[in-house]
Structure 1
Amino acid sequence: MKSLFSGFYSFYHKIKGKIAFYPSLFALSGLLFAFLMMFLEDRGISDYLSENIPVLVVSNGDTAHVILSACITGLISMMVFSFSMVMVLLNQASTNYSPRLLPGLISDHKHQIILGIYLSSILYCIFILFYIQPTGAEYEVPGFSVLLGVLATVICIYAFIYFIHTISQSIQITFILDDIYLSAKKRLHQVLEWDENAPDSFPETSGWYEYYNKDSGYFRDINRDKLLEFCKDKKSMIDILPVRGMFALQGIPLFRSKKALTEQEIQKVFTYFHFSREELVSTNYVLAFKQIAEVLAKAMSPGINDPGTAMNAIDYLTELLRIRMRLSDHSFICENGKAYAQERVVKFDELLYNLIASIRTYCKNDIVVVQKIGQMFDYLQKQEAKESSYYQTLKTEAERLLYDAHHSLDNKSDQDVIRRMANNLGVELKFGQGDVNE
């Protein structure tokens, strides 16, 4: 039973980010509601309402046909237009910002729910239209069901207005950056809670039993609670080898166990790992850093040249790096201060190097953006850090950035600004035998 539940949980995690997930659920609910109304119509709900509240019942068959046909036609037109707007949003985000943003935009529940409302209303109206039996003067019109179809169409109109509002916001880069930031911030605070009472070390695992991946895909998430329960039941410890967000190829080592596991236990542990073909910030905060850095780099590329967007991206990066500095370079699944499993994480120095390396390439020629990044380093050096080595990492990356900027900027005044920034950050920029700080 537990294995079945774990399999369902893993399947749910795979499909809930798909663009068709919520629309399919709403469409099914609209279909079921139509059958429910047919059942109630057979029990005489319209007759009862026509006797007590006649204003709520449509009594003319031709009128009911016209109303439902108009509702269906209008709803289909709105749905097609809405889908077209979603495609425009995705195309613009991919072209102007970064293709990595697409999974996050596709998984936006607001747009999925609105499309689901359209589908459920269309299916409801279609089946109620089929239910009307044109048998001359003897047929009975499901008047109350027709009224509900009209109300569903009115709801769809208001949903369409809200959709236009949200889609006009979603296409703005400030909204996209803010959404990435909020998702990453939420995830980072969740990791901070896990890291609060975690131990400082984990046993050496090189001699443990090693088990290999049987599938391939991005290592998206792991069911921490189930894995913790498994380790406690088996009185074992597990070392998770791939980094979250990494593309785990088939046949690579997936985890190590302190105790040997049976084939059934191995399969059980595999169900705790969630793989997918896409990456989401909600399960991997490192992706937020990559996305914001790519937006920044693309904004400063020669084809776009948008320093304003780059400055906004630096602000969001600064805040996320501040929170990341409060985390250690280790992640444990523990209970009451005892670690039962270990996760690999992207270390702070690797994270910062990959961020600044891509930014240096496109931003080193713009003194205004370089100054903004220098302010970021100055701010981060004054923040609380989980490990003292983080401060040296900040100095090292600041030195690399200012070194490249000094070589790229020919203006003497700009070079003086670089020197002042280096002095302020406590960085020594050495070129050959000389020193620009002398």
Structure 2
Amino acid sequence: MRSTLLKLADDLQGSYWFLPSIMVLAAIALAAGMIFADTHAVSGWMDGLPWLYAARPNGARQVLSVISSSMITVAGTVFSVTIAAVVYASGQYGPRLLSNFMSDRGNQVTLGTFIATFVYCLLILRTIRSADEAGAQGGFVPNLALLVGVALALCSIAVLIFFIHHVPRQLHINRVVEDVGDRLLAGIRRRYPDFIGAAAPDRAGDDEPPPIPTAFRLDASAADAANRALIAAPSTGYLQVVEDEALMAFAREHDLVLRLQHQPGDFIQEGRTIVEAWPPERYDEASAASVTKAFAVGSRRTALQDLRFLIDELVEIAGRALSPGVNDPFTALTCLDWLGAACSDLARRQLPPPLRMDADGALRVITHPVTFETYMERGFGALAQYCAGDMVAALGFIRALGAVSLGCDDPGRLRLIGDHGERLVDLARPRLAGFNLEQVILRAAQLRAALAEPDYKRRLRDSAAWFGGTG
């Protein structure tokens, strides 16, 4: 159930109609409240302020008519500008970044402000009546409501000025990359809150791992491998949320071991196995709904639990920037800086083991192994082929690896960082030549030599000339 709510909240945040709809409902409630206040003589204090008091119904109608007509016109313009910005972002940065612009609060509030002001003025306008109108029991001008309408118009002008500033700022490539990088860092801190000590492995503690059921082992016989229950995916799409607590509670309640076949971000197909349960005799088909409710499936990948998605966005922006048609290595450097910051943060953190135990130490859930190598390969491994053909990008690539090293204390992870530098050199040899290739080889060798020393962090910090990319 919680996974469904998380998916719903993410869908609403990324929708372009939800927040404006809430603001329209608020405008309707405000209009009703202002009319109630005016009909109960709450606006009597305005009698002594002639410049606030609109005594003539025709004048009040004209004011509200001008405000409402201008608001709906500007709302249409705002919508057109937003669509144009979305189309530009899709073509320039990649279609996966569309959700970032659609979920932008500034655009949603701007559209909602103009539509809400229009609806408010429209509702107030229909209550104004002259004394000589047919069926009218005396004239009525809601002065307090009219004053609020003028105030909303002034606020709308301020919002329009903000929108004119906000749209080009949001389309600036550094702002786009910063938004992705900030969400990636926040996701890392949220999913992996625990830090590791010096030379700590990915698996917490030194205890022996619990035995894995024979049915789940790679060397299991055909008969043993068949001794497990298969739970099918509820629908087709991308796995967005996995409710770990619900799966753990279910496995503990039924004394089962569950093995997940997929992780958030994977594409699953209805009817295909998503979870395996052992022993099968303790699992019944009536309980399948309890398991499948722990998974939320949607039409697109999201960053709710899928850090790989955000890394892929940085890789996509950098890859497009380094394409022959764009040839913008400095945008790639910006992506490498944020990717280096994210991997440096990951290097300091304890990643959860794939074997999840309950409070009694019994194995309950087996997940996909998520390691530091997984994220490094997803980011730097994917970008190496693009950076290898450009000296500026290649040097930035090595500099980013150095930044990751400064946050790392594990020898195995340090070797992995050095290996990525060597892979870049291997890819650069057939694509670069002369001075450009020599510089890349030199920087990679300097990184490898520094990582081989016990005081590698000091050496990297002292090598500011090459580490900072200025030498």
| TM-score, structure 2 normalization | 0.79
Name the CA shift for 1:275/1:66 in 2 (closer, same or farther; >3 Å).
same
Shift of 1:59: 2.7
CA–CA distance in 2 between the matches of 1:199 and 1:366? 40
Shift of 1:100: 1.5
CA–CA distance in 2 between the matches of 1:73 and 1:194? 56
Where does residue 293 of structure 1 map in the other structure? 315
Does the 8 Å contact 1:185/1:320 carry over to 2? yes
Q: Which of these residues, 248, 253, 262, is aligned with residue 273 of structure 2?
A: 253
Q: What's the RMSD between the two structures over aligned residues?
A: 3.2
Where does residue 417 of structure 2 map in the other structure? 394
Shift of 1:210: 2.7
Shift of 1:170: 0.5
Name the CA shift for 1:11/1:422 in 2 (closer, same or farther; >3 Å).
closer
Where does residue 461 of structure 2 map in the other structure? none
Shift of 1:213: 0.7
Name the CA shift for 1:12/1:418 in 2 (closer, same or farther; >3 Å).
closer
Does the 8 Å contact 1:195/1:331 carry over to 2? no
CA–CA distance in 2 between the matches of 1:426 and 1:78? 58
Matches within 5 A, 1:28-39: 28-39=25-36
CA–CA distance in 2 between the matches of 1:188 and 1:332? 20
Q: Which has the larger displacement, 221-230 or 156-165?
A: 221-230
Shift of 1:29: 1.8
**Stretches of structure 1 lacking an aligned partner (at least 5 in a row):** 428-438
Does the 8 Å contact 1:227/1:269 carry over to 2? yes
Secondary structure of 1:402 counterpart = helix
| TM-score, structure 1 normalization | 0.84
Total equivalences in the alignment? 421
Does the 8 Å contact 1:68/1:149 carry over to 2? yes
CA shift digits 1:126-171 (9 cap, x unpaired): 1111222355272211221111111111111112222222212101
Q: Which has the larger displacement, 368-377 or 336-345?
A: 336-345
Matches within 5 A, 1:89-128: 89-128=85-124
Where does residue 431 of structure 1 map in the other structure? none
Does the 8 Å contact 1:238/1:342 carry over to 2? yes
Q: Which of these residues, 430, 447, 457, is aligned with residue 407 of structure 1?
A: 430
CA–CA distance in 1 between the matches of 2:366 and 2:11? 23
**Stretches of structure 2 lacking an aligned partner (at least 5 in a row):** 197-201, 217-226, 450-471
Matches within 5 A, 1:251-290: 251-258=271-278, 260-261=282-283, 265-290=287-312
CA–CA distance in 2 between the matches of 1:42 and 1:343? 64
Name the CA shift for 1:191/1:320 in 2 (closer, same or farther; >3 Å).
same
Secondary structure of 2:231 counterpart = strand
CA–CA distance in 1 between the matches of 2:400 and 2:367? 29
Matches within 5 A, 1:376-395: 376-384=400-408, 388-395=411-418
Shift of 1:78: 2.2
Shift of 1:295: 0.9
CA–CA distance in 2 between the matches of 1:371 and 1:6? 42
Q: Which has the larger displacement, 247-256 or 292-301?
A: 247-256
Where does residue 189 of structure 1 map in the other structure? 189
CA shift digits 1:392-427 (9 cap, x unpaired): 33333322210121111232x333324323432439
Query: Residue 29 of structure 2 aligns to which amino acid in structure 1?
Result: L
Pair 1:73 & 2:95 matched: no
Name the CA shift for 1:147/1:254 in 2 (closer, same or farther; >3 Å).
same
CA–CA distance in 1 between the matches of 2:109 and 2:25? 13
Where does residue 209 of structure 1 map in the other structure? 229
CA shift digits 1:286-328 (9 cap, x unpaired): 1121111111111111111111111111111111111222343
Secondary structure of 1:254 counterpart = strand
Pair 1:305 & 2:346 matched: no
Query: Residue 127 of structure 1 aligns to which amino acid in structure 2?
Result: L
CA–CA distance in 1 between the matches of 2:151 and 2:356? 50
Matches within 5 A, 1:411-426: 411=434, 413-426=435-448
Secondary structure of 1:355 counterpart = helix
Does the 8 Å contact 1:220/1:274 carry over to 2? yes
